[in-house]
Structure 1
Amino acid sequence: METKIKKKLEESVSSKKRFRNIKFGGLPLILFAVLLFSSQSTFAHCDSYDGPVIKDAIKALKTNDVNPVLKWISKVQENEITILFHKTYNLRNGDKEVYEIVEKHFFETMVRLHRETEGEPYTGLKPAGSTKQIIQMTDEAIKVGNVDGFLLKLNKHIEKIVREKYDKVLQLSKVKDHSIKEGREYVEAYVNYTHTIEAMHDILEHGIEHGKGHAEHKE
């Protein structure tokens, strides 16, 4: 049994080495990293003031054109946002404090409805700079139109994480039968490691299921 486990670990590490050679497969790697190194709330980066949703909302209000924000919501939500957009825009030249309140309400509504399309709850607006670095890097790669630099950093990070998990399992495998406590520590590390590899494999093979909400978002 122990020989089989060691063989499985070695096969997993061998599989991991292939990730460094992936080029066009960068997109699945990006999705994997977001899922592996962050919680589900990572996908809420659209709720920050420097996120893409509010950036488009600011652009829409500056140009009096609601269209830039409609892509972030579903068709059934368009009427609510369009009405609120025009109400907000019409107050731009009025009382500054009143406008700031209405503008924030517009941003909150935009983010809340967008989160609904993702099947996720709205948890409030986040300050600029609160988005996790890995998501900022993915956005920057899109902005500059080049993913190579990001993939280089990402692949190194993935290798570091996998090696740390592997090394921990390998060390604990040497003492797993010394006591129940050490055995449980080994099992916990082993499960964490193998589930990480399995998640990586499944996402690279099949992609991430976005759910019904995301399907509506694409309409």
Structure 2
Amino acid sequence: MSRQHKIWTGAATLVTALAVILLVNTTIWAHCDGLDGPVVADARVALEAGDVTPVLKWIPEADEQEVREAFDQALVVREQGPEARQLADRYFFETLVRLHRAYEGAPFTGLLPSGAEVSPAIAKADDALEQGDVDELARHIAEAVEASIREHFAAAIAAKANKDESVEAGREYVDEYVQYVHFVKHLHEAVTEDQDYGHGHEAHN
């Protein structure tokens, strides 16, 4: 197994650990690309009211014209009967979600059915917003991250103590060292990149 593979395996282990932690006592529901997610929920409200305004917050200004056109087309087709109404709604949902996903920098692979499972972390994040309290979410993630960093540190410090005994011991130390520093680096980059994304996202609003 290559060192880089081990590093990413460690990162994947952290993600898995976080998912397990966050899954406890968590109701999982579809998110932005789900038929029961917040984007489609606002789209239903907009269609029933005949007012596109509620969905515009989900897309950048550059995509507003496309959304307005899709909305107007959907309103016209909806008048043709129940089956046409379903098709029109689906067309508008897919257009809106596709553009929103692109705004997030994520691919659109189709609408998820109602009740589809999503990342426990996303579900927990939404739950925190609903409750108006992020303390539990922040604590769980912080504890998992700290435990993983300490695990990598312990392995590196133990290997460091024996690094001069032989070439093999030295290589073992280097291997643990690389995993440790790169694991921390990836975590730090994930946090700082997320902050940068947040600032950029605010610039669109």
With normalisation by structure 1, the TM-score equals 0.62
Residues 35 and 111 in structure 2, CA contact (< 8 A), matched pair in contact too: yes
Take 1:138 and 1:164, find their aligned partners in 2: how far apart are those partners?
26
Q: Which moved more, 1:129-138 or 1:194-203?
A: 194-203
Give RMSD over aligned pairs: 3.7
Task: Measure how far apart 1:52 and its partner are.
Answer: 2.5
Identify the match of residue 153 of structure 2 among 166, 177, 191.
Answer: 166
Residues 48 and 54 in structure 1, CA contact (< 8 A), matched pair in contact too: yes
Take 1:89 and 1:189, find their aligned partners in 2: how far apart are those partners?
60
Any unmatched runs of 5+ in structure 1?
Answer: 1-35, 39-44
Take 2:180 and 2:41, find their aligned partners in 1: how far apart are those partners?
38
Task: Measure how far apart 1:93 and its partner are.
Answer: 5.5
**Residue 61 of structure 2 corresponds to which residue in structure 1?**
75
- Which aligned pairs between 1:48-63 and structure 2 lie closer than 5 A? 48-63=34-49
- Residue type at the aligned position of 2:54: P
- Residue type at the aligned position of 2:57: K
Q: Which moved more, 1:93-102 or 1:64-73?
A: 93-102
Identify the match of residue 33 of structure 2 among 38, 47, 69.
Answer: 47
Matched residue SS, 2:116: coil
- Residue type at the aligned position of 1:83: E
Any unmatched runs of 5+ in structure 2?
Answer: 1-13, 17-30
Take 1:125 and 1:188, find their aligned partners in 2: how far apart are those partners?
43
Matched residue SS, 1:98: helix
With normalisation by structure 2, the TM-score equals 0.66
- Which aligned pairs between 1:67-146 and structure 2 lie closer than 5 A? 67-92=53-78, 94-127=80-113, 128-146=115-133
Take 2:100 and 2:156, find their aligned partners in 1: how far apart are those partners?
41
Greater RCO, CA 8 A, separation 6+: 1
Identify the match of residue 66 of structure 1 among 43, 47, 52.
Answer: 52
**Residue 15 of structure 2 corresponds to which residue in structure 1?**
37
Deviation string, structure 1 residues 35-68 (Cα, Å, up to 9, x no partner): x838xxxxxx522334322222222223322111
**Residue 185 of structure 2 corresponds to which residue in structure 1?**
198
Q: Percent identity?
A: 36
- Residue type at the aligned position of 1:104: R
Take 1:102 and 1:189, find their aligned partners in 2: how far apart are those partners?
56
Take 2:83 and 2:158, find their aligned partners in 1: how far apart are those partners?
61
Structure 1's 133 and 207: CA in aligned 2 closer, same or farther, altered over 3 A? closer
- Residue type at the aligned position of 1:130: E
Residues 141 and 150 in structure 1, CA contact (< 8 A), matched pair in contact too: yes
- Residue type at the aligned position of 1:135: I
Residues 98 and 108 in structure 2, CA contact (< 8 A), matched pair in contact too: yes
- Residue type at the aligned position of 1:37: V
- Residue type at the aligned position of 1:47: D
- Residue type at the aligned position of 1:118: E
- Residue type at the aligned position of 2:145: I
**Residue 139 of structure 2 corresponds to which residue in structure 1?**
152
Task: Measure how far apart 1:132 and its partner are.
Answer: 0.7
Residues 47 and 125 in structure 1, CA contact (< 8 A), matched pair in contact too: yes
